[in-house]
Amino acid sequence: MNDHIEVQQIAKKAMEAARAALHPGQTLAEVRKDCEASLLELGADSFWYWGIGAFVFAGSGTIRSDSGRHYETPDYVLGEQELLTLDLSPQRRGIWGDFARTLVIQDGVPLQDPLDSSNAEWRSGILMERHLHAQLCELVVPSMTFEELARTMNERILDLGYENLDFLGNLGHSIGARSSDRVYIEPGNQARLDSVEYFTFEPHIRRPNGCFGYKHEDIYYFNGGRLVAI
């Protein structure tokens, strides 16, 4: 457990460093480069997802859902008002971290809490992500299957006026030693949630036909039958 906590802390600290350094005129390539350097400086020894430590999108590009196999950092320069998604994949001694957030620049300043944005549309999407994670912790029990969780949460996303943007339609995956060993929160997966030690929940959502996507990812595990985020 301590190894998983430590690697996830690397991701969280790198995320905060990246957020604080955001500024108009910065390219997404620079954001990625600085973030990956930060992950390594903080103790990661590699990046587990296709060798990429930071997936960065901004503006209307936040609706994109790409496989890491094909990801290229978008050619984009940050402006005074921006919505970004940043997804980090550090690894240390074979232990994965996985952490994503939606960030906001307002009037040229990166907001510490994106819910402080004056953009009502952005606030709504960010708040919905937090609501979905709160709902997850309320409804999940160890005996629930990955398929049951996928069905329940996808129904809630639709009922709340959003859609799942993931290119495979899933909502998260197990944390393992090899990418090929992952199992997903998706239809057809009859495995129980407690059949794995850790799994992510990472809904990638938008309003139907909306121009902006939102993402919030944490790693979860069961402690005494209760779901807890690392």
- Mean pLDDT across the stretch 129-136? 98
pLDDT tens digit sequence for 160-204: 999 999 988 999 999 988 887 899 999 999 999 999 999 999 999
Residue 1's pLDDT band (cuts 50, 70, 90): low
pLDDT tens digit sequence for 48-71: 999 999 999 999 999 999 888 889
Beta bridge partners of 126: none
Q: Give the predicted TM-score (pTM) of the model.
A: 0.95
In the block, residue with structure tokens 């907001």: 111
pLDDT at 181: 86
Which segments of the chain are extended strands (E)? 46-47, 54-58, 82-88, 90-92, 95-96, 99-106, 109-110, 163-164, 199-201, 204-206, 214-215, 218-223, 226-229
CATH of the domain spanning 3-229: 3.90.230.10
Contacts of 162 (CB under 8 A, 6+ apart): 125, 128, 205, 206, 207, 208
pLDDT tens digit sequence for 76-100: 999 999 999 999 999 999 999 999 9
